[in-house]
Amino acid sequence: EDKVVQSPLSLVVHEGDTVTLNCSYEVTNFRSLLWYKQEKKAPTFLFMLTSSGIEKKSGRLSSILDKKELFSILNITATQTGDSAIYLCAVPGSARQLTFGSGTQLTVLP
């Protein structure tokens, strides 16, 4: 059974801070690791990582995967109040079904 563990469970920072969110995983057959952002509604896709050590970037967000140590991190620099959300990490199974972690609730204060 695939397993995903995220830490911390919640995080409160001020605007301008940099945050690092952690995701560790155990999977039978690794295919990829995905990061999602969830505000009030459905999760929205951020990144998919398939190869170790390659950094994916989108503006102030970046993510890297370590396949040897079985973890990924999501970095957000110069945080803004609009970054407040739940950040979910997930790994897909053979039918693309996703096993999610519990998420990290990020709150960015003005």
Partner 1 sequence: NAGVTQTPKFRILKIGQSMTLQCAQDMNHNYMYWYRQDPGMGLKLIYYSVGAGITDKGEVPNGYNVSRSTTEDFPLRLELAAPSQTSVYFCASSPTRDRVGTEAFFGQGTRLTVV
Reduce the secondary structure of the chain to three states and give it as a string. Answer: CCEEEEECCEEEEECCCCEEEEEEEECCCCCCEEEEEECCCCCEEEEEECCCCCCEEECCEEEEEECCCCEEEEEECCCCHHHCEEEEEEEECCCCCEEECCCEEEEEEC
Among 43, 74, 76, 83, binds partner 1 (CB under 8 A): 43
* Residues 52-81 interacting with partner 1 (rule: CB under 8 A): none
By CB under 8 A, residue 99 contacts partner 1: yes
Among 31, 52, 66, 78, binds partner 1 (CB under 8 A): 31
| Residue closer to partner 1 (CB basis): 5 or 109 | 5
Among 48, 61, 70, 73, binds partner 1 (CB under 8 A): 48
Show the CA angle centred on residue 5, arms to residues 25 and 105, nearest 5°. Answer: 135
Among 21, 34, 74, 108, binds partner 1 (CB under 8 A): 34
The footprint of partner 1 (CB under 8 A) covers 4, 6, 31-32, 34, 41-45, 48, 50, 88, 90-92, 95-103, 105
